[in-house]
Amino acid sequence: MSARLHAGPGRALEIAAAWLLGFLWLFPLLYAVWAAFHPSQAAIRFDVFSPLTLDNFARAWSLAPFDRYFFNTFVLVTLILVVQLVLCTLAAYAFARYEFFGKNVAFALVLLQLMIMPEILIVENYRTMSALGLVDSILAIGLPYMASAFGIFLLRQTFKTIPKELEEAARIEGCTDLMILWKVFVPLARPTYLAYGLVSISYHWNNFLWPLIITNSVTTRPLTVGLAIFGAPESGVDWSVISAGTLMAVAPLLVAFLLFQRQFVQSFMRAGIR
Amino acid sequence: MRIGGPVAIRNQVYGWLLLTPAAFLLVAFTHYPAVATLAQSFFTQGTALHPSKFIEFENYRFMFDDPVFWKVFRNNAIYSSITVPTSIAFAILMAIWVNEKLPLRGLVRMAYFTPTILPMIAVANIWLFFYTPEIGLLDQILGRFGFQSPNWLGNTDTVLGCVIVLAIWKDAGFFMIFYLAALQSLPVELEEAARLEGASRWYYFRRVTFPLLMPTTLFVMINSLINSFKLIDHLFILTKGGPDNASSLLLYYIYEVAFSFLDQAYASTLTVVLLALLALLAVGQFTILDKRIHYR
């Protein structure tokens, strides 16, 4: 960490600029919070001293099935994360510890998904899902993301740093391959799992395009899609209520972020450095 | 390939067994659709009465004559070439500030990073209100100072700019953390030496910090470019690609063609263009740039 000791007006100006930028970056969220707690007339006139109210939240909650959307998103995010963790662990273990025919080609093919993400392949994946009869199901939202190249890559890197001696010691103790994976590799890779988990949860909590395409009913729609329908100008809902709905949708992730800021930042950092 | 004793064979079997579940899903939802997209682009859209038939490059010919395609292509080029460098510049600036002794540093860092964890749909809802004519915040502020403001999202001259500003705001804080990690790994002695030599801050940044950050910049650039092709959520809320496709991007057009105009064959043809662009990016990353920049 570099700590400079500057002084003078240049330094003061720089601090002011850093603060101003921070304010600008936080402003939309602050504004949404302010609008959500004030009557809608105040938002339009930007009347700072109008009375506080919770009406907007009550109205938003009654105007759209947010409880169902929350449930759907929760199921979706959990389903994706659990399957991702299992599949990526197994595949990463294969890449880190086994010599098999076609390993390098297979690894290159896995990495291809870092470039060609499921978002790009919406047309064909939709056809596949209709052929499978899965359109409008939570499973269909998750399927294209479950084998994550990113997760495989990240875990493989971690597994490769685990010393061979540990593995051999476990083998002498009579552990099978899968037991070694479970008792040696998985516990030692815990920070990577945490990092990957946080990134995956935030990604899928926020994901929109594919869920929009593949769902068409209240029983499957995640929060983001529900929010988009709710906030559409055609719905005629006023601005303060939209703010309240928007805040409700982002609240769980935002609160988690504010509480575990350090873990979030470090996770994103760890996940990005390859 | 070495097939030897029982250990080698065991390795073969175990390796592939462990890989199979992930490989199956990857092939089904990444490799197969990529190939199928290419194949589909040579056929017509089949209907119940007219089954899909092979038409060689007819879809591509149509695409080259499609003014909307060229418009969204141009939009995407402008969008990418502004959002990528600008968000990188902001990210570096933020990282340098937050890396120094700054009053309220924790709060400032949190402010920069917060847009990253908010869904694009949610922030687009908020920004929509800023841009709304007359009652919107931007117009109210400009109005108080006596300025006439255009209908930001309804005007073909300003709409793409509005979308770009939002994208930069959303991305910069995310990229900041990669620069922050890189800055913290730079040796402190470098800066002390530079200060002893009397180098100015700007000179030090330009000649020392920036070159040393090059691997991070490359990484961020690639990710930011991919983002500028694949993240289009805000368009659904802010503009729906309009007015007159002035803010539509390639993937949004693909979405419209496939799911509003229901022409999946043409949507596949457009997807091929996007795949080709990403392939080009991958080739560029692995051949030209990787040779010049050393990873650890």
- Prediction ipTM score: 0.88
Cβ contacts (< 8 Å) between B138 and chain A: which residues?
none
Which of B243, B264, B245 is CA-nearest to residue B255? Answer: B264
Q: Which of B29, B101, B184 minimises the CB distance to A125?
A: B29
Q: What DSSP element (H or E) covers A134?
A: none
Q: Does A140 share its domain with A207?
A: yes
Q: Does A32 share its domain with A78?
A: no
Q: Does A260 share its domain with A139?
A: yes
Range of A115's domain? Answer: 69-272
Domain residue ranges of chain B, discontinuous segments joined by +: 57-292
Cα separation of A192 and A272, whole Å?
A: 12
Selected from 1.10.30.50, 3.40.30.10, 1.10.3720.10, 3.30.70.260, the CATH number assigned to the domain covering B57-292 reads: 1.10.3720.10
Q: Does A38 share its domain with A120?
A: no
Contacts of B97 (CB under 8 A, 6+ apart): A14, A18, A21, B108
Cβ-contact B172, B116 below 8 angstroms: no
CA distance B281 to chain A (A): 9
Q: What DSSP element (H or E) covers A42?
A: helix A40-45
Q: Which three-class secondary structure state does DSSP give residue A27?
A: helix
Residues 210-249 (A) with a CB less than 8 A from some CB of B? 212-213, 223-224, 227-228, 231-232, 239, 242-243, 246, 249
Q: Tell me the two tokens of residue B10.
A: 């065991």
pLDDT in tens, chain A (274 residues): 344 445 567 788 889 999 999 999 999 999 888 888 888 776 666 666 777 888 888 888 888 899 999 999 999 999 999 999 999 999 999 999 888 888 999 999 998 888 888 989 999 999 999 999 999 999 999 999 999 999 999 899 899 988 988 888 888 888 888 888 898 999 999 888 988 898 899 899 999 999 999 999 999 999 999 998 887 766 666 788 888 989 998 999 889 888 888 888 777 777 665 4
Cβ-contact B94, B116 below 8 angstroms: no
Whether A3 is covered by a domain: the verdict is no
Nearest CA in chain A to B129: A239
Cα separation of A173 and A159, whole Å?
A: 20
Nearest CA in chain B to A209: B233
- Total number of domains constituting chain A: 2
Q: Does A175 share its domain with A129?
A: yes
Q: Does A243 share its domain with A120?
A: yes
Which DSSP state fits A143? H
Q: Does A106 share its domain with A189?
A: yes
- Quickly count: other Cβ atoms within 10 Å of residue A255's Cβ: 10
- Quickly count: other Cβ atoms within 10 Å of residue B226's Cβ: 21
